[in-house]
């Protein structure tokens, strides 16, 4: 029987590539979105055309009640979640003194609270089965910090701390918890940086190019596979050598 993967924020660049990678590997895919219904449904059609099984689920993951409802609906539609990919995230460049209370709380609500709520819901079945994979998506800025992205850097650093601590707690239950920290990836989320800035970032990267959503997706798929069964609590930098 094929396993079920939940990918939060699946309507975005990395999320979409990850959903397609898992579908190609034979997983049933729960496509989560909050605001971009068109992109989520387009992704569903694309996976269906390729012969994959998937379904779309809407939720504000910063709301624990909506997360609980989403997991209930996924279980009814696709079965228990075997692999959880906490990919949904939000962030933008802004000077520290201009960060409002609302922006700070929203950034942590999506990036940190959302991951916490989804882990909590997924674990009841994973612990019972003594198996499961959790892959959290952080960022190189969660490792090094980024000027004008203090709120985002702090939230992504929290995701790394959550990963390491939860891996220690869940190891005896046969559940692995790992983290992928992407570098500069060629996605819509980074398009605001402008062509010139992106070119400079590519030049600063030892591999002399930007990463693709598929680069990150393949790393996530690897961590969910049996090939990564003895890997837990690790932060995998997919950054072309930007941070070493």
Q: Given phi > 0 = left and psi -120 to 50 = alpha, else beta, which region is 88? A: beta
For the question of residue 152 being annotated catalytic, the response is yes
- Tell me the C-alpha distance between 123 and 137, whole Å: 18
Our CA angle for 35, 38, 40, nearest 5°, is 75
Catalytic residue among 27, 33, 117, 152: 152
122 CB-contact burial (10 Å; exposed 0-12 / middle 13-18 / buried 19+): buried
Q: Residue 151's closest CA among 94, 235, 89, 189?
A: 94
Counting DSSP H helices and E strands in the chain, the numbers are 9, 7
Q: Residue 19's closest CA among 49, 57, 54?
A: 54
Task: Show which residues are catalytic.
Answer: 152
């Amino acid at each position: 029987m094929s396993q079920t993967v939940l990918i939060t924020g699946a309507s975005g660049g990395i999320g979409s590539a990850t959903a397609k990678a898992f579908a190609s590997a034979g997983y049933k895919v729960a496509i989560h979105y909050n605001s971009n219904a068109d992109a989520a449904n387009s992704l569903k059609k694309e996976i269906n055309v390729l012969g994959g099984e998937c379904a779309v689920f809407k939720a504000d993951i910063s709301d624990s009640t909506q997360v609980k409802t989403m997991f209930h609906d996924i279980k009814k539609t696709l079965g228990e979640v075997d692999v959880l990919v906490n990919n949904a995230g939000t962030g933008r460049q802004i000077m520290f003194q201009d960060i409002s209370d609302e922006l700070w709380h929203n950034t942590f609500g999506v990036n940190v609270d959302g991951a916490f709520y989804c882990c909590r819901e997924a674990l009841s079945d994973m612990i019972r089965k003594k198996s499961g994979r959790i892959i959290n998506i952080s960022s190189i800025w969660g490792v090094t910090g980024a000027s004008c992205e203090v709120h985002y850097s702090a939230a992504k650093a929290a995701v790394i701390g959550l990963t390491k601590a939860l891996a220690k707690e869940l190891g005896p239950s046969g559940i692995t918890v790992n983290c992928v920290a992407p570098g500069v990836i060629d996605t819509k989320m980074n398009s605001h940086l402008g062509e010139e800035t992106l070119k400079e970032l590519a030049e600063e990267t030892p591999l002399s190019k930007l990463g693709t959503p598929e680069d990150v997706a393949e790393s996530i798929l690897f961590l969910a596979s049996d090939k990564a069964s003895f890997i837990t609590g690790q932060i995998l930098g997919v950054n072309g050598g930007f941070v070493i």
